Amino acid sequence: MAHQDLRGNPCGSSSAAARDAAERALWRMMSFYDVPIADLDAAIAADPGWALPHVMKAGFLLSLTEPALVAEAAAHLAAARDRAEHATPRERAHLEAVQQVLEGRWHGACRTWDELLVQHPRDALALQWAQLWDFYRGDLAGLRGRPARALPEWDEGDPLYAHVLALYAFGLEENHLQPQAEEVGRRALAIDARAPWAVHAVAHVMEMQGRFEEGGAWLRQHQAAWAEGNGFAAHLWWHKALFRLEALDIAGVLRLVDSHLAGEALQITLQRVDASAMLWRLHLLGEDVASRCAALLEGWELGEEAAGYYAFNDVHAVLAMLAAGDLHRAEAWVARCAERAMTPEDARRANHHMAREVGLPLMRGLLAWQRGAAMDACEQLYPVRTLAQRLGGSHAQRDLIDLTLLAAAASGGHRAMGRALVNERRMAKPLTPLTRHWMEALRDPEGARA
C-alpha cells in the first residue's frame, strides 16, 4: 500500500525522512526561499529508490529556462525512470509531464498535470508547475482556472494553502479580475506573510490600475519578507522599478537597477530578462544605458544552444543587444532564432509556434526601430499586439511592445497609431506621468493628423 504525503496524495516512499525532505523542497519551490536542491538530495539519500525527488529536481532545473541545465535535468529523469517501477501512478504522471517539458512539449505537460489534478486536487507540485508553464506559454485561462478547480478541496490549515491562494490571485489578475485578485492576494498574506507570489500578484494589480505610488509602498511594506534569501527578490525589485518608471523617476529607476538588477544580483536568465526589460524601457525614454546593457550581456550565457530555446528570453536578449548599440549581434541572434524555428525536428516544441507567430515578428520589428525605420517598426509591431499573449509572461512584461510602438510612433512613425495606443492606455487606468510623457511626445505642434 502506498504511503501518503501531508495532503493525502499517494507517495512511493516508506521513509518519513525522505518524505519530509521532499515536503521542504516543495515549500521552497512555492515560496522561493532558497533553492530546493539540498532538500531533494536529502530525500534521495534517505530513500535512494524513490523516483519523485529525481523528477522534482529535473522539473526545478527546467523551470529556470536555462538551456545549459537541460542535460542535468535529463539525467535526473533517466534516474527517475530507473526507479519508476516502485512509483505510484501519480508520481509516474509527474515523470511523464516533466519528460514532456524536457522535450519542449509544454502544452502536453500542462494537460498531463490537468488530468492529474482532477484525481488529486491537493497535489501542490502539479499546481505549482502547471502555473509556471502556463505563465511561460501564455495560458491565461489555465492560470486562473486550475487553482480555482482545486482550492475548494484544500484545508485552510495546510502550510501551503496561502501559496495556492497566491497562484489563484495571480491567475485572477492576469484575467483582468483585479478587485478579486487583490482580495485573494491580501487574504493569502494574512495567512502567511512569507508568500511572495501573493505580494507579486497584488503588485500586478496596482500596476495594471496605475496605482504606482501605492504599489511602491506595498512592496516596501512587505520588503523584509522578500528582499533577502528569496529567489523571487530580483523580480520584485523589477516591479519596484516599474512603479518608479511610471512616476518618471528615472534616477530612482537607475538606483534600483544598479543595486538589484546588475552584477552579482543576476544569477539566472529569468533575472537577466528583468534587467533587460527595465533597461529597454529606459532606452525608449532616451536614457543612455548602453554600458549597462553591455555589462548585462557579458554575464549572460548566449551561446548557440540558447538561441531559439524560449522566444520570451530570445526577445529580451535582443533588447539588451540593441540598447547596447550592437545591432550586428542582434541581427545574427535573430537569424539563429529563425533558423531554429524553421527546423522540422523542433516542430513539436511549444517554442516552435511561439517563435514563428510572435517572437520572430516582434524581434524583426525591434530591429527595424533600432535601424531608424520607425514606420516599418510600427507596421511590424502593431499586429503582434493581438498575439502577444502567446509569447508568455505577464501583461506588465508584454507592455514593452506597446511602449516600443509609442516610441516608434513618436520618432517619426505612425503618429495616429501612437495616439490610439495612448487613448487605450488612458481608458485602462488613470493618467500617470509616463502616459503624459507619451501624450506630449505624440503631440503634433502643427495640428496635422499624421
Instruction: Give average pLDDT by consecutive 10-residue segment, the chain, 450 residues.
Output: 87 96 98 96 98 98 96 98 95 98 97 97 98 96 97 96 98 98 98 97 98 98 94 96 98 98 95 98 97 96 90 98 97 95 82 94 96 94 95 96 96 90 95 96 58
HSE, CB side, 13 Å, CA atoms: give it for residue 27.
18
Please tell me the pTM assigned to this model. 0.95
Rounded-to-integer distance, Cα 18 and Cα 39, Å: 9
Q: Is 180 exposed, middle or buried (0-12, 13-18, 19+ CB in 10 A)?
A: middle
pLDDT at 444: 64
In one-letter notation, the amino acid at residue 271 is: Q
- 173 in Cβ contact with 428 (< 8 Å): no
Buried b (16+ CB within 10 A) or exposed e, 47-86: beebbbbbbbbbbbbbbbbbbebbeebbebbebbbebbee
What number does CATH give the domain 1-138? 1.25.40
Rounded to 5 degrees, φ, ψ at 283 are -60, -40
Question: What is the rounded CA–CA span in Å between residue 361 and residue 352?
Answer: 13
Sign of the four-CA dihedral 344, 345, 351, 355 = negative
What local confidence, expressed as pLDDT, does residue 425 receive?
A: 95
Distance of CA 313 to the CA centre of its chain: 10
- Output the pLDDT for position 447: 40
d(Cα 177, Cα 182) in Å, to the nearest integer? 9
Dihedral sign from CA coordinates of 228, 195, 62, 351: negative
**pLDDT, position 345:** 73
Q: 163 Cβ partners below 8 Å, 6+ apart?
A: 27, 30, 31, 124, 128, 188, 192, 195, 197, 198
Contacts of 148 (CB under 8 A, 6+ apart): 168, 171
What is the chain's alpha carbon radius of gyration, rounded to the nearest angstrom?
A: 22
Q: Any residues with CB less than 8 A from the CB of 448 and at least 6 apart, and which?
A: none
Instruction: Return the pLDDT at 346.
Output: 73
